Amino acid sequence: MRLAVLGALVPALLLQASTPPAVTDAAWQDAERSSGSFAATTIPAPTLNGQCSYEPNLLGLGAYVRILWKAPEGYSVADAELQASTSGLGSALAPLTGFSLTAETTGTAAGGYVTDVPVNLLGGLLGLGTELQLSIVMKRFGWTSKAASVATNAGLVAGLGGSCRNLPPDA
């Protein structure tokens, strides 16, 4: 029985192998065309809406930097983050550790915000005669806006000569 099956199978395989398949031309053709575009989200930057100030208080104790700013339309203080330069003006910015922007900010989205940044949180970043950059950015969808920034200097002793100035918007 096996011999009979094998005898029938061999000629069938030989016939299949000797007959090449027919050539087929295949092509993709479709008259419809499609196009599209995409863009990255741009998070609008906050703006400074008044001159910042360095408030030394009595003998520099409880000194703070006051920043007057406004969130873009549709954003609030909850979308904002305060960043500080890591080693003087113009250096890399990083979130200010131990600072709650919502707790230290008063005002409204419509009228603008006032944020007081205690100088003691700036620690060694704000040394004698050193300018420090404080920046407020908006964050949403994993993206970060350009910054609204101020530069502050604690002055020499007990806040004498301390100052703050608004920096021009990031280009």
**pLDDT value of residue 29:** 72
Confidence of residue 8 (pLDDT cuts 50, 70, 90): low
**All domains of the chain, ordered by start, with CATH?**
47-166 (2.60.40)
Q: Over 70: is that where the pLDDT of 2 sits?
A: no
Instruction: Taking residues 155-170, report their average pLDDT.
Output: 77
Q: Is the torsion defined by CA of 87, 88, 92, 97 positive or negative?
A: positive
SS3 assignment, position 79: helix
Kindly report the pTM of this predicted structure: 0.70
**pLDDT value of residue 95:** 79
Q: Over 90: is that where the pLDDT of 5 sits?
A: no
Locate tokens 């002055």: which residue?
Answer: 155
* DSSP state string for 132-158: EEEEEEEEETTEEPPPEEEEEE--SST
**pLDDT of 50-102, one tens digit each?**
999 988 876 657 788 999 999 999 999 999 999 988 666 666 777 777 889 99
**pLDDT value of residue 10:** 65
Rounded to whole angstroms, the Cα distance separating 84 from 98 reads 12
Q: Which of 153 and 116 is assigned the larger pLDDT?
A: 116
**pLDDT value of residue 38:** 77
The long-range contacts involving 39-43, CB below 8 angstroms and separated by at least 24 positions, are 40/143, 41/140, 41/141, 41/143, 42/143, 43/138, 43/139, 43/140, 43/141, 43/143, 43/144, 43/145
Locate tokens 């922007």: which residue?
Answer: 101
According to DSSP, the residues that pair with 120 across neighbouring strands are none
**pLDDT value of residue 35:** 80
Residue 164 near residue 56, CB atoms below 8 Å = no
Q: Over 70: is that where the pLDDT of 4 sits?
A: no
Locate tokens 């609030």: which residue?
Answer: 76
Q: What is the mean pLDDT of the chain?
A: 80
